[in-house]
Structure 1
Amino acid sequence: MAVKAQVPGAVIDVQHYIFALQLTDADNNIKGQATVGVKFLKNADAFNLDLVKKNVEGKGMLVSAVTENGKNLRFVQDSGAVKIYTNAKTGSMHSYKVSYAGVPADGLIISTNNFGHRTFFGDNWPNRAHNWLPCVDAPADKASVDFVVTAPDHYQVVSNGLKIKEQQLPNHLKLTHWHEAVVVPTKVMVIGVAAFAIDHPGDAGNIPVYTYVFPESKEAGFKSYAVAKDILPFFIKNVGPYSYEKLANVQSKTIFGGMENASAIFYFEESVTSPGIEELMAHEIAHQWFGDGASEKSFWHLWLSEGFATYMTNLYLENKYGADTLKKRMLADRKKVLEFEKKRLTPVVDSAVKSDYMQLLNANSYEKGSWVLHMLRRKLGDDLFWKGIQNYYAKYRGSNANTDDLRREMEQASGQDLKPFFNQWLRKAGHPDLNIGWHYDADKGSVNISVEQKQDNLYEFPLEIAINGELVHIEVKDKTTSAQILVKTKPETILVDPDVNVLDSFNIAAQ
């Protein structure tokens, strides 16, 4: 299989992980054996796997052995990685076993839930997986994964993919084996271990939908989470096939509102009674296509996950509740984008961020990314927009894309040059800030409109203005754009962007 992404300069491409983990109630120490199947992309005498080493507080993982075919290999562990010495030729396949143990510093959240019960929840985004799993902890290296979890038998275990084995062991232990056949990035590989009440509210086509909630949340959770089975078909119909073997929605201890783990989405603990559960679920389910299925090549292109999930949620809600719902949401999102810009002026594709990716969870990645898709949809029309989105997903499903990859697919679908559009909205910071003046000329029976762009970077975009309820389109591109509109009577009302189709700020005054 051709290398679909990989970190530039990568030595290996991980094909498959098996994580065999032992969890206990005695303490927070976990024991692991990771079997990592790799393909070498170049001749190598060593390679690295990311893994956080035990720190002064005693948190982190200590590797005790690395073997290949039962033979011990030399390895060196530093604070963030384990270097494994081996001899490998380009294109060759190898399988390594890494034995390790420790208390996770992060990534696997071992704590108690609101009801005082002990729980274990993976929480890997963005690159926190290597706190508890030896891996290539970057979205570009996708792999299939098995989790084989041995834990006290009063827990249920949920994970990616299909449950292929559940076996009672001596001493009140239980082994649970989940297998995800589809390649996914480490950020969405996960286990959830807790006492769960489990429901199967229905299927979307041949995809079973499950609910996993704490037993005390059973009544509320079974009811509120059931909406997932109605959301899934919208994306299957409009975007493309669902990639995974099932969809489980899980009440959890994630630090996020929701975390889009492939086929096993985790939601914050109070989500079972949250009035916003439908939109939260739509957002996380949309991620199964965008972020999980078609993943960004690097976190600089995070909007391909978060902007998509935000706009796809808006499209789902527009489809269900009507166009006014979309307008209201776009207005609220526009406000968020403009507020964020005052705090931090940076483009959506933000290559200045080198390590702390949490800072990319911001209004640029989410709401501005969503706004770009909204304006692209208005520019192309619904048919070409969806055609481009479907083609993009079909091409990059199971692999990785960046912003230019999306642009090329949208150009191919529409036959338009979209470079200027993508550059101004995604690669430059800011937005159009407009001074709009109008004057009624009674003699000519016209309204003269002038649109001035106050910001330095000039934008090109269509601006809609409603005069007495009649929509007028003005192509804005220069510092000042003038238009003369014939009218039957003196305007009572002039509304700028009445359908909320441009990411801008403006003031309007009669002259």
Structure 2
Amino acid sequence: MNHRFLSTVALAASMALTVGCKTSKPVSDTNGPDAPLPEISQEEAPSETSEPVWAPKKYAFNPSRTKAHDLLHTTLRVSFDWEKQYLNGLAELTLKPYFYPQRQLVLDAKGMDIHSVHLMNGYEATPLHYEYDGQKLSIDLGREYTREEEYKLEIDYTAKPNELEAGGSDAITEDKGLYFINPLGTDPNKPQQIWTQGETEASSAWFPTLDTPNERMTQDIYITVKPEFTTLSNGTFMYSRQNADGTKTDYWKQELPHAPYLAMMAIGKFAVVKDQWHDMDVDYYVEPEYEATAKKIFGNTPEMLEFFSQKLGVKYPWAKYAQVVVRDFVSGAMENTSASTFMEDLQLNERELLDKSWDGIIAHELFHQWFGDYVTTESWANLPLNESFANYSEYLWAEHKYGADEAAYLQLDEMGQYMSEAQTKREPLIRYYYNDKEEMFDSHSYAKGGRVLHMLRTLVGDEAWWASLNLYLTRNKFSDVEVAELRMAFEDVTGKDLMWFFDQWFMKPGHPELTVTQSYDKGQLQLHVRQVQDTTYMPIYRLPLQVAVWTGGKEQLFPIVVDQAEEVFTFDVAQKPQLVVFDAEQQLLAEVTHEKTEDELLFQFSNSGQLALKLESMAELQEQAARPQVQEMYRRGLQDNFWAVRSAALSVLSGLKEGQVAKIEPMVVKMATQDAKGSVRADALLALAAWNGNKHQQLFKQAMQDSSYQASAAAILAYAGTGAADTMQQLAKFEDEENEEVSLALATMYAVQAGPEKYDWFVRKLRAANNGDLYYLLQSFGAYLAANSQTNTPEAIALLADYAKNHNLYYVRAAAYQALMVMSEKPEVQALLQEIKAGEKDERLLDMYGE
């Protein structure tokens, strides 16, 4: 499972973001991460006498689900009432008692009408007594069965997902399992689709099952739809049968067992673009408009299949691999067995592909086919056994395909995401004491987990890492696991006792907080290391690492193990070091305070070779950026081979005054049109605008036609900022552009510069926007309404009220509510705001809306 990220030009549009939990990442050209959607936090600062706001919470223990019955096989025959948004289903379940004899079976079946339950013996059906409370279907089997006896049930039911009480989380925004998109075809901006989303326990909203990750079943699904629709499900497509009533029935067969939450369907008018890996079908399901670019979006999939299969020593285990893009998906993506589902943001045109690649999320869901599908966590408490590996696969693929810097940039992003979350939340990675299973889908399970796996790989070495993963997968295939089984695989391969590593990193909350100081005297370097984390909640860590020491321009590496609250390490060094780097490999998940002089930071930038250390030097010296020797470092940063270093240099330099950058400005002018990376060209344009936009007005005008949408959007902002007389005329040329970066740039400027004539443009863009873009457009629309009171019409009020009441994403509802507040002097709006508050169930929004 992957959540949702936005694109970078939202930042250029001057919209503030806060770091949220791990989501799917659109990335520029290769794998550079963009800003996550905002979380709305209402945390209050703790008092001096209270425990830290991040202190682990004390909830009840959540064990794995007891197995009373074993679900062996599920056959589903489904059709749909598009108008009512119902699924009409006939489910045949094959089960047997797990160990102890059983007479009663309790199935998960949420929000259904149960028409009948029969015990099947061939074609002979015996009705069974059952009770149903809307969530659980309790069936009297008529007699006691032993673990040697299989039995089959046939359940006739109707699923009514829209009548379920709304639920969900930041990661998976709804949990109704089955979704009808534009079911009556009345929305011209959306195709008609049906799709499912099972994680965590929502498959039972569209078929009766044992909805738990420690259950596995094989599966047949017969899907009846109109012939113009294409279907997708798990496993192999067997046939399509034409029916007498003009419909067709497609039959999909999943022959290998998988967890019920991984069952899926997708139905729509898709273009199916064929690809192949060895003799296996690899298909991409997209809207017809994107048929021509589907292979450019997903085309690295066969190479990923080869890379992961070779490295793991376990060939991709399923019959096919399909990837489908759907509208209004409730998360970033989902790793359904052999058929992953993705949000609509993956659909890119040729020009958008110049800026973005979705390789990270594609690799993430593919790696889940091993870690999550082939081997599945036994409980949601052990979710990092799924998500940490999928998260780390993004690093593995970036390292393989794009090089060390791209991989390191991803790791820095993961560190930032976790550290941001750690300000208000610190829990063990493996946590049995959660309040709600949905809380497991956070930056601990994803970002921290990925970094912990990287430390484990560094600790044991590459050969042992891959051998241990092979043993873990082959030993536990088609089964459910807990973290001890991962540890034992590594111990059996390496011969090492790794309990200490798994205990401190998987079972304990938090992370090390270290202060490092150094001194040199008479040929000896002393490194004083203190662990200063709050040991009321966190352990004293054992940290194997390497210290890098540079003397005479040469590097020496010294391995050490930090395992005390305070200790001193002494190294024989012939002369005073030019630089000392604690954790030379930059692999440690920790907050490290190690003060360095200006000279040391300048040396570090030029000599370390590590992306993290280069970026650290630039960040630490930004207050001295006007000094000649420091500015020379930034000048070299502008020429760095890696785009993120160039962008970081531009970001710092843009904060200087024009007179302070006279020597650098010509280089930035050249970068604004010639840098190979569109996002860097965008950063260069914004830097020039910050220094003296009027001076570069013609350059901005030309750059609005840049092939990169990101650069074009930055040029729009820069040109509008010059106050050119023809600004509105120039911006109007882009009003029909569907790209979100350009639309957000226009919205930002129109919010403060346009009059009532742009009202219709705003409404059109709002109605066509997807979820993330809608959040930002609503912010600009609110500012626009504040500046144009004559546009505060009943139509505008009704549009915002609909979003504030009914949108499935809490942050979109929040943005709509805030936009309505602009008109709060109107009595009808005051009444609406009260109505919205009364109907809102999300605690974050209720806190925000409070008096």
Question: Same fold per TM (> 0.5)?
Answer: yes
- Residue identity matched to 2:588: V
Identify the residue that residue 65 of structure 1 maps to in structure 2.
Answer: 116
Q: Distance in 2 between matches of 1:31 and 1:214?
A: 26
Aligned residue number for residue 318 of structure 2: 244
* Residues 252 and 268, structure 1, Cα contact 8 Å, conserved in 2: yes
Letter in 2 for 1:447: L
Shift of 1:463: 2.8
Structure 1 outlier segments of 4+, above 4 Å: none
- What per-residue deviation string (whole Å, max 9, x for no partner) do you get for residues 330-351 of structure 1? 2221222222111111110111
Q: Which amino acid is the alignment partner of residue 111 of structure 1?
A: I
- Could you tell me which residue of structure 1 aligns to residue 532 of structure 2? 454
The 1:366/1:270 distance shift into structure 2, 3 A limit, reads same
Q: Is this contact kept in 1: 2:82–2:180, CA < 8 A? A: no
Q: Confirm whether residue 269 of structure 1 aligns to residue 339 of structure 2.
A: no
Tell me, what secondary structure is at the counterpart of 1:343?
A: coil
Q: Does 1:502 align with 2:580?
A: no
1:326 shift after superposition? 2.3
Residue 341 of structure 1 is matched in structure 2 by: 422
1:510 CA displacement: 6.9
Specify the code of the residue in structure 1 equivalent to 2:113.
L
Determine which structure has more spread, i.e. the larger CA radius of gyration: 2
Residues of 1 paired with 2:596 and 2:107: CA distance? 65
Alpha-carbon distance between aligned partners in 2 of 1:386 and 1:510, rounded to the nearest angstrom? 37
Which range moves more in the overlay, 415-424 or 335-344? 335-344
Q: Distance in 2 between matches of 1:361 and 1:26?
A: 33
Q: Could you say if the C-alpha distance between residues 510 and 486 of structure 1 is closer, same or farther in structure 2, counting changes exceeding 3 Å?
A: farther
Aligned to 2:181: 111
CA RMSD, aligned part only?
1.7
- Distance in structure 2 (CA, Å) of the matches to 1:104 and 1:425: 39
Greater Cα shift, 92-101 or 274-283: 274-283
Q: Give, as a single letter, the amino acid of the residue that structure 2 aligns with 1:448.
A: Q
Tell me what 1:488 maps to: 574
Q: Given that residues 14 and 141 in structure 1 are in contact (C-alpha distance below 8 angstroms), is that contact kept between their aligned partners in structure 2?
A: yes
What are structure 2's unaligned runs of at least 5 residues? 1-62, 163-175, 598-851
Distance 1:17 1:363, change over 3 A: same
One-letter amino acid of the counterpart of residue 591, structure 2:
S
The yes-or-no answer on 1:314 pairing with 2:395 is yes
SS at match of 2:407: helix
Q: In structure 2, how many angstroms separate the alpha carbons of the residues matched to 1:288 and 1:347?
A: 25
Distance 1:416 1:219 in 2: 51
1:90 paired residue number? 146
More strand by share: 1
- Measured in 1, the distance between the counterparts of 2:212 and 2:90 equals 20
1:45-84 equivalences under 5 Å are 45-52=103-110, 60-69=111-120, 70-84=125-139
Cα distance in structure 1, aligned partners of 2:394 and 2:470: 16
Contact 1:24–1:152 at 8 Å: present in 2 too? Answer: no
**1: CA distance between counterparts of 2:153 and 2:325?**
34
Q: Does 1:188 align with 2:247?
A: no
CA deviations on 1:221-245 (whole Å, 9 max, x unpaired) are 3421222122111111111121110
Alignment of 1:330-479 (within 5 A): 330-354=411-435, 356-441=436-521, 444-455=522-533, 456=535, 457-468=539-550, 469-479=555-565
Cα 1:114–1:107 shift into 2, 3 Å:
farther
Q: What secondary structure, in the 3-state scheme, does the structure 2 residue paired with 1:400 have?
A: strand
The alpha-carbon deviation at position 88 of structure 1 amounts to 3.0
The aligned residue for residue 279 of structure 2 is: 206
Q: C-alpha deviations, 1:33-58, integer Å up to 9, x for none?
A: 11000011221221111001xxxxxx
Q: Is the 8 A contact 1:40 1:88 kept in 2?
A: no
Shift of 1:129: 0.8
Q: Does 1:232 align with 2:283?
A: no
CA distance 1:510–1:309, shift in 2 (3 Å)? closer
**Structure 1 stretches of 5 or more lacking a match?**
1-5, 53-59
Bigger helix fraction: 2
2:66 aligns with: 9
Q: Which amino acid aligns with 1:256?
A: S
Q: TM-score, normalised by structure 1?
A: 0.94
Q: Judge conservation of contact 1:462–1:473 (CA < 8 Å) in 2.
A: yes
Query: Residue type matched to 2:413 in 1?
Result: A
Q: Check conservation: 2:131, 2:137, Cα contact below 8 A.
A: yes
**Alignment correspondent of 1:154:** 228
CA distance in 1: counterparts of 2:480 and 2:68, whole angstroms: 18
Aligned positions, number? 495
Aligned counterparts of 1:14 and 1:169: Cα–Cα separation in 2: 31
* Aligned twin of 1:57: none
SS of residue in 1 equivalent to 2:595: strand
Measured in 2, the distance between the counterparts of 1:220 and 1:404 equals 44
* Residue 300 (structure 1) aligned with residue 381 (structure 2): yes
Q: Which residue in the other structure is 2:662 paired with?
A: none
Q: Secondary structure at 1:342's aligned position in 2?
A: coil
The amino acid that maps onto 2:585 is D
Alignment check: 8 A CA contact 1:295 1:305 kept: yes
Deviations 1:176-222 (A, max 9, x none): 01000011111210000001101112x22232101111112222334
Distance 2:408 2:79 in 1: 50
- Give the whole-Å Cα distance in 2 for the aligned partners of 1:45 and 1:7: 22
- Secondary structure of the residue aligned to 2:452 is helix
Decide which of 354, 362, 366 is 1:281's aligned counterpart.
362
Structure 1 counterpart SS, 2:544: strand
CA distance in 1, matches of 2:443, 2:109: 31
Greater Cα shift, 305-314 or 215-224:
215-224
In structure 2, relative to structure 1, the CA distance for the partners of 1:249 and 1:432 (3 Å cut) is same
- Are the equivalent residues in 1 in contact too, given 2:181–2:192 (CA < 8 A)? yes
Amino acid at match of 1:219: A
Identical-pair percentage? 26
For each residue in 1:454-508, what CA deviation from the matched residue of structure 2 results, as whole angstroms up to 9, or x when unmatched? 0122000113222213222221001112111122221222222232211111111
Amino acid at match of 2:95: V
Q: State how far apart, in whole Å, the 1-side matches of 2:492 and 2:92 are.
A: 41
Deviation at 1:114, TM superposition (A): 8.0
Preserved contact between residue 398 and residue 407 of structure 2 (Cα < 8 Å): yes
1:83-104 per-position Cα deviation (integer Å, ceiling 9, x unaligned): 0101232211001001001322
Alpha-carbon contact 2:197-2:264 (below 8 Å) kept: yes
Cα contact 2:429–2:445 (8 A) shared by 1: yes
Matched, 1:126 2:208: no
Distance in structure 2 (CA, Å) of the matches to 1:434 and 1:168: 68
Q: Which amino acid aligns with 1:489?
A: Q
Deviations 1:55-111 (A, max 9, x none): xxxxx3110100012110001001311001012322110010010013224101111
State the distance in 2 between where 1:18 and 1:433 align: 53
The letter of the residue matching 2:279 is N
**2:105 is matched by which residue type in structure 1?**
F
Give the structure 2 partner of residue 323 of structure 1. 404
